[in-house]
Amino acid sequence: MVKMVSLALVAAFLSLNIPQVRAEAPAASADKATGSKTVTVFAAASLKNALDEATATFKKKTGVEVSISYAASLPLAKQIESGAPADIFISADVASADYLSSRGLLKEGTRTNLLGNSLVLVAPKIANIKKLTLDKASLLGALGESGRITTGDPASVPVGKYAKAALQQLKLWEDLEPRFAFAENVRAALLFVARDEVPLGIVYLTDANSEPKTTVVATFPASSHPPIVYPFAMTASSTSESAAKFFAFLKGPEAAGSYKKQGFSVLH
């Protein structure tokens, strides 16, 4: 059973001097009513660069304010379930969207599996690692005697779920599980690697593309994990016309350019 942080892992975190990383815009700060002109979005952390760019384009065209809370998908879904106001939910996995759908909290007919992604292994650029093969000897060699590998917590963070599935399929999970330092979202994991606080991390290709202080050293075969799919949907409680316009924009060609620039594949 995977645990977020065991006592041994706490000690490892302290020795690595890894800071606590929070979502950039906590969902609790989204205090506008759902029907107001400000559009409130809860989105997977991995979307930050692409979605920020698309949002800036939309605001320039329409003057509509958009407030985005970035974090791991399931915690965001649970905040919506608890009554946090949101117009649009964007998940990095199907399961988190299913969680809200099964509770009647997504607007019928709006859910779209819009984007795809890839899973990669990254290292700090200053480590000067060119490429690694996805086998026990190469990965443990790169970690050294006490180095940690990071990704999102598989219990709640989609990238961690994909990473665990891939490592299990490649028969590497049992060897690597004790060496993991789990993060609360994919951007937190990326930050640990960028700061050279861990030798390796498993993140999405789009996150790796956003961080010049990391380098991709291996790509996981698409067949080693479930497809990485991003469902977009409006929430059942949203009555905002501005939110409906923004949602349509997010599915259109202008936003698609922002997604592709970051490395997402556009599925629709």
Q: What is the pLDDT of residues 134-175, one digit of tens each?
A: 999 999 999 999 999 999 999 999 999 999 999 999 999 999
Residue 61, exposed/middle/buried by CB under 10 A (0-12, 13-18, 19+)? Answer: exposed
Beta carbons within 10 angstroms of residue 146's beta carbon: 10
Q: What is the distance between the alpha carbons of residues 106 and 98, in angstroms, rounded to a whole number? A: 9
pTM: predicted TM-score of the whole model, two decimal places? 0.84
Q: Across the 268 residues of the chain, what is the mean pLDDT of every consecutive 10-residue run?
A: 39 40 38 61 97 97 96 96 97 97 97 98 94 96 96 96 98 97 96 97 97 97 97 96 97 96 94
Q: What is the distance between the alpha carbons of residues 249 and 256, in angstroms, rounded to a whole number? A: 9
pLDDT for position 186: 96
Query: What's the Cα-to-Cα distance from 203 to each of 153, 159, 211, 235, rounded to whole Å?
Result: 12, 6, 11, 28
pLDDT for position 10: 38
Beta carbons within 10 angstroms of residue 268's beta carbon: 9
* Token digits of residue 128: 């000067």
Residue in 46, 43, 22 with CA at minimum distance from that of residue 204: 46
pLDDT for position 7: 34
pLDDT for position 34: 41
pLDDT for position 37: 76
Largest CA distance in the chain: 56
